[in-house]
Structure 1
Amino acid sequence: MLLALSLIGLALAALFAVMCLVNLSVLRPPEAGEGPLPAVSILIPARDEAANIGAALDAALAQAGTQVEVVVLDDGSTDGTDRIVEDYAARDARARLLRGADLPQGWIGKQHACWQLGRAARHPVLLFVDADVRLAPDAAARMAGQMQEDGLDLVSGFPRQITGTWAERIVIPQIFVTLLGYLPLPMARASTDPSFGAGCGQLLAIRAEAWHGLGGHAAFRDRMHDGLELPRRVRARGGRSDLCDATPIAACRMYDTPGQIWHGFMKNATEGMATPRALPVWTVLLFGGHVLPLLTLVAALATGAAWSLAASGLACALLLAARIAMARRLDQPWLSVAAHPLGVLVVLAIQWSALFGARRGRQATWRGRSYGMN
């Protein structure tokens, strides 16, 4: 039995390691390319972002290499976010403040904000950016250039994730484990199949024509996960989307506390892993490929089972090699490598909690609003 479990762990660890290394080899930062670039509307939804919005605007207005406008929608803030944006708009004509309309029944707050922003944008490329994202000065030019160079309707990427606490350092990098370990990027680029669509709502550029053609964010008004919905809907209409390595062009501190991490991952879990069909498969892949090898290695050392020790040792070596490569490439903390199995277990706990919560009618809460989990 121990040998069988060791071999299963080895097979699943090898799947992850090979996929991860292949994807890291083809994932590349966006490049501006040659020739004039289309103008970009940088669109920032903001709800109680007084602590963030000034730095976000500084970075957005510092863009070089292409013409930009920066539009911030204040979504019912009570902390003075709107006044900060007004001050910037008074000093720089490229900045605008929109005051958001009341949230209609059946809408997710962010999707309603982004829908209003997209309709107000004036330029042919829409770059949706969260308020906690800090753009490098060439970010807009490089994303617009990548779209133009590769004939893309949409390009997205995960910014470099700033992690201050031990909980962030252990859990946040797991986003990349699931993305780079199990989405075959070469196949995704060769196909327009919507199931290969993936992106990050923190940093997502789309052609305005494509956005309007699919109905904008209104097309998924009741869904949380814009990073999945937009690429999949672009592909469903025959368009092309791609992922880039956004580490050099943007940075973000997603969550600050363990509670924020838990609730942040929970809010859109049921639109990703946490479905009755998908989660058992993900549990086999993640627990079997990332936790089981360590358990069988310990058991093999305790019992002196040579073949199990060899299989489990190889599995752990493959995992370690892949995680080191990922950490170096994406500027992840070394604690995320050392505590990798723990991070996997936390993610699985969140996903199972979300699934059971959805079946009991539990509400997801974010930014002071509650949404049904379905």
Structure 2
Amino acid sequence: MSWLPWLSLALAAFPWALAGRNLFRLPRARGEPSAPVLVSVLIPARDEAAQIEGCLRAALSSRGVAIEVVVMDDGSRDSTAAIVRRVAAEDPRVRLLAAPPLPQGWTGKVHACARLAEAARGTHLLFIDADVRLRPQAAAAMAAHAEDHGIALVSGVPRQEMGGLGEALTVPMINLMMLGYLPQGGRRGTRPSLAAACGQLVLAETTAYRAAGGHAAAPAILHDALSLARRMRVHGFRTEVVDGSRLAGCRMYRRFAEAWSGFSKNAREGMATPLGLPVWTVLLGGAHILPWLLLPHPAAVLALALSLTLRGLITWRMREPWWSVPLHPVAVAVALAIQWSALLGGGLGLKPEWKGRSYGGPPANPA
């Protein structure tokens, strides 16, 4: 099949058409808001004893804008709540809430976020995960960006910190997909189909959030940030993805098994659909894996150069560790394996578990 190397070259060139614009047009949030603003930093937390104090200390170091920090303890079985109480005793800006029992038809994080939004007092709601470490200027910069550009929701992918092989084989796919395969990369607009957001770092203007129905409008969803961004665009509000690598850091996982489970639980609301996954397998496998099997054909060599250069540019732009770049083809293979495992497991009626809860049912239709 003499055409196969040329197909791999075409597939490797395809993401450059998107990444060439996304990489260098990704906006950076800067400055401080001119209007009086209170940012409510909202943290859903379930079994986060190892993470929560670092998250709180970073949030409390925010400058340039008034903040409150509200933590929803979502039935933790460890010392999460006790740690938050101790920090709250030191700083009155911190509040601890206990999540009510999880209602039927809700996912845990969405339920916690909805209840956090109800309790928040701020003009802006900044949802972050417990493993996120905000930079001191982050809350002010995101609120200023929203104010300056008339944006109702601002999101970004934090700098992804990786300390081991398991993370390097999974986490970099977030930015590869966002910047290399998403038209417009989540740039400013109101078209729902082009919306994007990262649930690790989402700031929403409170009035717009409530007008769009907030998290409660799609209680069974797992990709909560993407669903929220699409829904806000449906209601006529503008959303945008900015460079989150300078606003926050995040170490999502510390072991390969943990990363596999974490990405698996969201898979069937992403690529792992019967119609979509074969297409993604061709796009990703053909561009980033197939060329290795076709060496030393000149087209395969060029395809590899395009693939690794793209990954290197994304790594540089998003400030990820350089040592993960040579692992790129294996990371793509692992990503596809996770998606196929989730799809086949769903067909067998298996549901992935995360922190004691089962996920992976039919996705809700975001209103």
Structure 1, unaligned stretches of length 5 or more?
302-308
Question: How many equivalent pairs are there?
Answer: 362
Which residue does 1:306 correspond to in 2? none
Partner of 2:300: 312
- Residue 53 in 1 paired to residue 41 in 2? no
Greater radius of gyration (CA): 1
Percent identity between matched residues is 49
SS at match of 1:101: coil
Q: 1:349-372, CA deviations, whole angstroms, 9 ceiling, x for partnerless residues?
A: 100111111122211211111124
C-alpha distance in structure 2 between counterparts of 1:255 and 1:210, whole Å:
32
TM-score (norm 1): 0.93
Letter in 1 for 2:341: S
Indicate the SS of the match to 2:358.
strand
Compute the TM-score of the two structures, normalised by the length of structure 2: 0.95
Q: Is the 8 A contact 1:362 1:373 kept in 2?
A: no
CA positional deviation for 1:37 = 5.4
Matched, 1:113 2:112: yes
State which of 363, 369, 372 in structure 1 corresponds to 2:351. Answer: 363
Corresponding position: 1:353 with 2:352: no
Task: State the superposition RMSD in angstroms.
Answer: 1.4
The Cα of 1:108 is off from its aligned counterpart by: 0.4
Aligned position for 1:177:
176
- Structure showing the higher helix proportion among its residues: 1
Shift of 1:270: 0.5
* CA offsets 1:262-291 (integer angstroms, 9 cap, x no match): 110100100011111211111111011111
Please state whether the residue corresponding to 1:180 is helix, strand or coil.
helix
Offset at residue 227 of structure 1 (A): 2.3
Which consecutive unaligned segments of at least 5 residues does structure 2 have?
Answer: 363-367
Q: Do 2:352 and 2:359's aligned partners in 1 also have CA atoms closer than 8 Å? A: yes
Task: Supply the distance in 1 between the matched residues of 2:210 and 2:33 (Cα, whole angstroms).
Answer: 27
Q: Is the 8 A contact 1:29 1:247 kept in 2?
A: no
Q: Which moved more, 1:4-13 or 1:323-332?
A: 323-332
Q: Does 1:104 align with 2:103?
A: yes
* Deviation of 1:320 (Å): 2.0
- The reply on whether 1:24 has 2:23 as its aligned counterpart is yes
1:184 maps to amino acid? P
* 1:319-372 CA-partner distances (Å, limit 9, x unpaired): 222111111111222332111111101000100111111122211211111124
Aligned to 2:261: 263
Distance 1:348 1:372, change over 3 A: closer
Distance 1:18 1:294 in 2: 22
5 Å-filtered alignment, 1:319-358, equals 319-358=307-346
Map 1:213-292; keep pairs closer than 5 Å: 213-292=211-290
**Which secondary structure does the structure 1 equivalent of 2:243 belong to?**
strand
Distance in 1, Cα, partners of 2:326 & 2:359: 35
State the distance in 2 between where 1:171 and 1:205 align.
Answer: 26
Aligned residue type for 2:231: R
